[in-house]
Amino acid sequence: MATLLFSLRGVPEDEAYEIKCLLTEKAIDFYETSAGNWGVSMPALWLRNNQDLDEAQQLLEAYHRYRSAEQKAIYQQLKKAGEHKRLRDSFLRNPLQFILYMGFSAFILFVSVKILFEFGL
């Protein structure tokens, strides 16, 4: 029976590719399911053999520790060079869009709180 190994929902393409390559390299038999045409199915990696679960989980844990350290290093490099994205950069790049999004967010928050207090919750 197939066992869920890793959900791919919200996972970057490069990370999913690296995980699939790692599993293939270690000769762990798996298959991938997609989100489908409307995105309602579960995109994931599944193991065909339950016996491979422990080894695959250990590989994933090691990979995620490595990836976390790598991404933190990349962020620190960008931060040191002053190239990381900040809220101010979003405003300066497109001020009208930024103001519209912030106004819409404030409106949604206002309506939500107003409804909450009108019902006396």
pLDDT, tens only, 44-97:
999 999 999 999 999 999 999 999 999 999 999 988 888 878 888 888 889 999
Structure tokens at 10: 């919200």
* Mean pLDDT, the chain, integer: 92
> Of all residues in the chain, what percent carry a pLDDT higher than 90?
75
Q: Which residues does 44 contact at the CB level (< 8 Å), separation at least 6?
A: 4, 5, 6, 7, 8, 9, 32, 33
Q: What is the mean pLDDT of residues 7-13?
A: 94
Integer Cα distance of 117 and 119 in angstroms = 5
On whether the 1-84 domain is CATH 3.40.640.10, my answer is no
